[in-house]
Amino acid sequence: MKPNTQQLNDLTVQVRRDILRMVHAVNSGHPGGSLGCAEFLVSLYQSIMDRKDGWDMDGKDEDIFILSNGHISPVFYSVLARSGYFPVSELATFRLLNSRLQGHPTTHEGLPGVRVASGSLGQGMSVAVGAAQTKKLNKDNHIVYTLHGDGELQEGQNWEAIMYAAAYKVDNLIATVDLNGKQIDGPTDEVLPMGSIGAKFAAFGWEVVEIAQGNNIDAILTGMADAKAKAFNGKPVVVLLHTEMGNGVDFMMHTHAWHGKAPNDAQLESALTQNAETLGDY
Protein backbone atom coordinates (compact mmCIF):
# COMPACT_ATOMS: atom_id res chain seq x y z
CA MET A 1 0.00 0.00 0.00
CA LYS A 2 1.34 3.41 -0.96
CA PRO A 3 1.79 5.96 1.84
CA ASN A 4 -0.73 8.79 2.19
CA THR A 5 0.10 12.49 1.97
CA GLN A 6 0.69 12.85 5.71
CA GLN A 7 3.09 9.94 5.74
CA LEU A 8 4.96 11.41 2.76
CA ASN A 9 5.15 14.77 4.52
CA ASP A 10 6.43 13.13 7.69
CA LEU A 11 9.11 11.31 5.73
CA THR A 12 10.08 14.57 4.01
CA VAL A 13 10.67 16.16 7.42
CA GLN A 14 12.92 13.24 8.35
CA VAL A 15 14.81 13.56 5.06
CA ARG A 16 15.38 17.26 5.77
CA ARG A 17 16.82 16.32 9.17
CA ASP A 18 19.10 13.78 7.51
CA ILE A 19 20.36 16.35 5.00
CA LEU A 20 21.13 18.92 7.68
CA ARG A 21 22.90 16.45 9.96
CA MET A 22 24.93 14.94 7.11
CA VAL A 23 26.38 18.21 5.81
CA HIS A 24 26.89 19.60 9.32
CA ALA A 25 28.83 16.54 10.48
CA VAL A 26 31.54 17.01 7.83
CA ASN A 27 31.13 20.77 7.30
CA SER A 28 30.73 20.02 3.62
CA GLY A 29 28.03 19.39 1.05
CA HIS A 30 25.09 21.01 -0.70
CA PRO A 31 22.03 21.52 1.53
CA GLY A 32 20.16 24.16 -0.50
CA GLY A 33 19.12 22.17 -3.56
CA SER A 34 18.82 19.00 -1.49
CA LEU A 35 16.22 20.59 0.78
CA GLY A 36 14.38 22.01 -2.22
CA CYS A 37 14.02 18.58 -3.84
CA ALA A 38 13.09 16.60 -0.72
CA GLU A 39 9.35 16.47 -1.39
CA PHE A 40 9.90 15.45 -5.00
CA LEU A 41 12.31 12.58 -4.34
CA VAL A 42 10.28 11.28 -1.40
CA SER A 43 7.18 11.26 -3.60
CA LEU A 44 9.06 9.67 -6.50
CA TYR A 45 10.50 6.75 -4.55
CA GLN A 46 7.61 6.19 -2.16
CA SER A 47 4.61 6.66 -4.46
CA ILE A 48 5.31 7.41 -8.12
CA MET A 49 7.88 4.94 -9.42
CA ASP A 50 7.15 1.29 -10.08
CA ARG A 51 10.02 -0.35 -8.15
CA LYS A 52 10.92 -3.97 -7.55
CA ASP A 53 11.98 -5.38 -4.20
CA GLY A 54 15.72 -5.75 -4.04
CA TRP A 55 18.33 -4.05 -6.21
CA ASP A 56 20.20 -4.78 -9.40
CA MET A 57 22.07 -2.43 -11.65
CA ASP A 58 20.15 -3.40 -14.82
CA GLY A 59 16.80 -2.22 -13.49
CA LYS A 60 14.84 -4.50 -15.81
CA ASP A 61 11.05 -4.57 -15.51
CA GLU A 62 10.91 -1.54 -13.23
CA ASP A 63 11.09 2.24 -13.42
CA ILE A 64 14.54 3.69 -12.81
CA PHE A 65 15.85 7.09 -11.75
CA ILE A 66 18.93 8.97 -12.93
CA LEU A 67 20.18 11.90 -10.81
CA SER A 68 21.94 14.37 -13.08
CA ASN A 69 22.63 17.23 -10.64
CA GLY A 70 24.73 14.98 -8.44
CA HIS A 71 25.75 17.64 -5.93
CA ILE A 72 22.37 17.17 -4.22
CA SER A 73 23.58 13.76 -3.09
CA PRO A 74 22.46 14.33 0.54
CA VAL A 75 18.77 14.17 -0.38
CA PHE A 76 19.39 11.29 -2.78
CA TYR A 77 21.23 9.22 -0.16
CA SER A 78 18.64 9.95 2.51
CA VAL A 79 15.71 8.95 0.30
CA LEU A 80 17.51 5.79 -0.86
CA ALA A 81 18.26 4.77 2.70
CA ARG A 82 14.75 5.60 3.95
CA SER A 83 13.39 3.58 1.00
CA GLY A 84 15.32 0.48 2.02
CA TYR A 85 18.26 0.46 -0.41
CA PHE A 86 20.90 0.44 2.35
CA PRO A 87 20.96 0.90 6.15
CA VAL A 88 19.96 4.32 7.44
CA SER A 89 22.93 4.18 9.81
CA GLU A 90 25.25 4.44 6.79
CA LEU A 91 24.19 8.06 6.31
CA ALA A 92 26.60 8.88 9.13
CA THR A 93 29.50 8.05 6.75
CA PHE A 94 28.61 10.83 4.28
CA ARG A 95 31.74 12.27 2.63
CA LEU A 96 34.12 10.33 4.87
CA LEU A 97 37.19 8.53 3.52
CA ASN A 98 36.40 5.09 2.10
CA SER A 99 32.64 5.74 2.41
CA ARG A 100 30.19 4.57 -0.24
CA LEU A 101 28.43 7.94 0.21
CA GLN A 102 30.77 10.29 -1.59
CA GLY A 103 30.02 13.98 -2.14
CA HIS A 104 28.83 13.16 -5.64
CA PRO A 105 27.33 9.73 -6.32
CA THR A 106 29.67 7.22 -7.91
CA THR A 107 29.26 3.62 -8.99
CA HIS A 108 32.53 1.86 -8.15
CA GLU A 109 31.62 1.70 -4.44
CA GLY A 110 28.55 -0.35 -5.38
CA LEU A 111 26.03 1.71 -3.42
CA PRO A 112 22.54 0.29 -4.08
CA GLY A 113 20.32 2.76 -5.91
CA VAL A 114 23.12 4.59 -7.71
CA ARG A 115 23.15 3.76 -11.43
CA VAL A 116 25.50 6.45 -12.74
CA ALA A 117 28.25 8.71 -11.44
CA SER A 118 27.04 12.29 -11.51
CA GLY A 119 29.61 14.87 -10.54
CA SER A 120 30.06 16.75 -13.81
CA LEU A 121 26.83 18.54 -14.66
CA GLY A 122 24.95 18.22 -17.92
CA GLN A 123 25.48 14.51 -18.59
CA GLY A 124 22.44 12.90 -16.97
CA MET A 125 20.09 13.62 -19.85
CA SER A 126 22.29 11.72 -22.29
CA VAL A 127 22.56 8.75 -19.91
CA ALA A 128 18.80 8.72 -19.34
CA VAL A 129 18.05 8.79 -23.06
CA GLY A 130 20.31 5.77 -23.56
CA ALA A 131 18.68 3.94 -20.63
CA ALA A 132 15.21 4.68 -21.98
CA GLN A 133 16.13 3.44 -25.45
CA THR A 134 17.55 0.27 -23.89
CA LYS A 135 14.21 -0.38 -22.20
CA LYS A 136 12.46 0.04 -25.54
CA LEU A 137 14.85 -2.40 -27.24
CA ASN A 138 14.23 -4.90 -24.43
CA LYS A 139 10.45 -4.40 -24.71
CA ASP A 140 10.45 -3.23 -21.10
CA ASN A 141 7.47 -0.90 -20.76
CA HIS A 142 8.76 1.09 -17.83
CA ILE A 143 9.78 4.71 -17.38
CA VAL A 144 13.17 6.34 -16.91
CA TYR A 145 12.93 9.34 -14.58
CA THR A 146 15.60 12.02 -14.27
CA LEU A 147 16.25 15.15 -12.21
CA HIS A 148 18.23 18.17 -13.43
CA GLY A 149 19.02 21.59 -12.04
CA ASP A 150 17.85 24.65 -13.93
CA GLY A 151 21.36 26.10 -13.89
CA GLU A 152 22.58 22.76 -15.19
CA LEU A 153 20.68 23.38 -18.42
CA GLN A 154 23.28 26.03 -19.24
CA GLU A 155 25.47 23.05 -20.22
CA GLY A 156 25.22 22.44 -23.96
CA GLN A 157 25.28 18.64 -23.92
CA ASN A 158 21.76 18.68 -22.46
CA TRP A 159 20.34 20.21 -25.60
CA GLU A 160 21.91 17.66 -27.92
CA ALA A 161 20.27 14.91 -25.86
CA ILE A 162 16.98 16.82 -25.69
CA MET A 163 16.96 17.17 -29.47
CA TYR A 164 17.86 13.50 -29.93
CA ALA A 165 15.17 12.25 -27.52
CA ALA A 166 12.42 14.02 -29.45
CA ALA A 167 13.77 13.01 -32.86
CA TYR A 168 13.83 9.33 -31.90
CA LYS A 169 10.54 9.43 -29.96
CA VAL A 170 12.03 8.38 -26.63
CA ASP A 171 8.62 8.63 -25.01
CA ASN A 172 9.38 6.49 -21.95
CA LEU A 173 11.50 9.31 -20.51
CA ILE A 174 10.19 11.79 -17.91
CA ALA A 175 12.80 14.43 -17.13
CA THR A 176 12.22 16.82 -14.23
CA VAL A 177 13.91 20.22 -13.99
CA ASP A 178 14.30 21.75 -10.52
CA LEU A 179 13.32 25.34 -11.25
CA ASN A 180 14.50 27.17 -8.14
CA GLY A 181 16.04 30.04 -10.09
CA LYS A 182 19.35 29.82 -8.21
CA GLN A 183 22.80 28.38 -8.73
CA ILE A 184 26.11 28.59 -6.92
CA ASP A 185 27.02 32.06 -8.20
CA GLY A 186 23.59 33.68 -7.83
CA PRO A 187 20.20 33.81 -9.56
CA THR A 188 20.19 31.91 -12.84
CA ASP A 189 18.76 34.95 -14.62
CA GLU A 190 21.85 36.92 -13.62
CA VAL A 191 24.46 34.23 -14.25
CA LEU A 192 23.17 33.18 -17.69
CA PRO A 193 19.51 33.91 -18.53
CA MET A 194 17.81 31.00 -20.27
CA GLY A 195 14.46 32.57 -21.12
CA SER A 196 11.47 30.23 -21.05
CA ILE A 197 12.73 26.71 -20.42
CA GLY A 198 9.24 25.34 -21.09
CA ALA A 199 9.08 27.04 -24.48
CA LYS A 200 12.51 25.67 -25.34
CA PHE A 201 11.51 22.08 -24.54
CA ALA A 202 8.25 22.48 -26.46
CA ALA A 203 10.15 23.84 -29.46
CA PHE A 204 12.42 20.79 -29.30
CA GLY A 205 9.36 18.53 -29.51
CA TRP A 206 8.74 17.57 -25.88
CA GLU A 207 5.55 17.38 -23.86
CA VAL A 208 5.72 19.95 -21.05
CA VAL A 209 4.13 19.61 -17.60
CA GLU A 210 4.39 22.39 -15.03
CA ILE A 211 4.17 21.94 -11.26
CA ALA A 212 3.85 25.42 -9.80
CA GLN A 213 4.03 24.20 -6.19
CA GLY A 214 7.06 21.96 -6.33
CA ASN A 215 7.33 21.69 -2.56
CA ASN A 216 3.75 20.51 -2.10
CA ILE A 217 3.26 16.73 -2.01
CA ASP A 218 -0.26 16.75 -3.43
CA ALA A 219 0.76 19.07 -6.27
CA ILE A 220 3.71 16.81 -7.07
CA LEU A 221 1.58 13.67 -7.13
CA THR A 222 -1.00 15.34 -9.39
CA GLY A 223 1.60 16.77 -11.74
CA MET A 224 3.56 13.55 -12.02
CA ALA A 225 0.37 11.60 -12.70
CA ASP A 226 -0.22 14.01 -15.59
CA ALA A 227 3.33 13.42 -16.82
CA LYS A 228 2.88 9.64 -16.68
CA ALA A 229 -0.37 9.98 -18.64
CA LYS A 230 1.53 11.83 -21.39
CA ALA A 231 4.28 9.19 -21.63
CA PHE A 232 4.34 6.49 -24.33
CA ASN A 233 2.63 8.86 -26.74
CA GLY A 234 5.46 9.60 -29.17
CA LYS A 235 7.19 12.39 -27.23
CA PRO A 236 9.52 12.58 -24.22
CA VAL A 237 8.07 14.46 -21.24
CA VAL A 238 9.62 17.24 -19.16
CA VAL A 239 8.28 18.36 -15.78
CA LEU A 240 9.07 21.92 -14.72
CA LEU A 241 9.16 21.71 -10.93
CA HIS A 242 9.09 25.12 -9.24
CA THR A 243 10.85 24.71 -5.88
CA GLU A 244 12.43 26.87 -3.20
CA MET A 245 16.10 26.27 -2.52
CA GLY A 246 16.59 25.51 1.18
CA ASN A 247 12.90 24.74 1.63
CA GLY A 248 11.84 24.03 5.21
CA VAL A 249 14.62 26.04 6.87
CA ASP A 250 13.74 29.73 7.07
CA PHE A 251 17.26 31.18 6.98
CA MET A 252 18.25 29.01 3.98
CA MET A 253 15.27 29.98 1.80
CA HIS A 254 15.09 32.82 -0.77
CA THR A 255 18.87 32.92 -1.29
CA HIS A 256 21.56 31.05 -3.21
CA ALA A 257 23.95 31.36 -0.26
CA TRP A 258 23.24 27.84 0.99
CA HIS A 259 23.84 26.12 -2.33
CA GLY A 260 27.05 24.59 -0.99
CA LYS A 261 27.51 25.69 2.64
CA ALA A 262 27.05 23.65 5.81
CA PRO A 263 25.29 25.03 8.91
CA ASN A 264 27.24 25.62 12.12
CA ASP A 265 26.13 24.17 15.46
CA ALA A 266 23.65 26.92 16.29
CA GLN A 267 22.23 26.97 12.77
CA LEU A 268 21.82 23.20 12.82
CA GLU A 269 19.90 23.35 16.08
CA SER A 270 17.61 26.07 14.70
CA ALA A 271 17.01 24.12 11.49
CA LEU A 272 16.26 20.88 13.34
CA THR A 273 13.86 22.73 15.65
CA GLN A 274 11.95 23.84 12.56
CA ASN A 275 11.75 20.21 11.46
CA ALA A 276 10.52 18.19 14.43
CA GLU A 277 11.70 14.59 14.62
CA THR A 278 9.31 12.05 13.11
CA LEU A 279 10.92 8.68 12.42
CA GLY A 280 14.12 8.82 14.45
CA ASP A 281 17.56 9.91 13.33
CA TYR A 282 20.36 7.55 12.36
Q: Per-residue pLDDT tens for 90-130? A: 999 999 999 999 999 999 989 999 999 998 899 999 999 99
Query: Distance (Å, rounded) from C-alpha 155 to C-alpha 139?
Result: 32
Query: Distance (Å, rounded) from C-alpha 156 to C-alpha 38?
Result: 27
Domains of the chain, start order: 5-274 (3.40.50.970)
Segment holding 270, helix H or strand E: helix 265-274
Query: Distance (Å, rounded) from C-alpha 122 to C-alpha 73?
Result: 16
CA 109 to each of CA 35, 70, 73, 78, 196: distance values in angstroms, whole numbers, following the listed order = 25, 15, 15, 17, 39
**pLDDT value of position 277:** 78
Kindly report the pTM of this predicted structure. 0.97
Q: Per-residue pLDDT tens for 21-61? A: 999 999 999 999 999 999 999 999 999 999 999 999 999 99
Residues of the chain predicted below pLDDT 50:
none
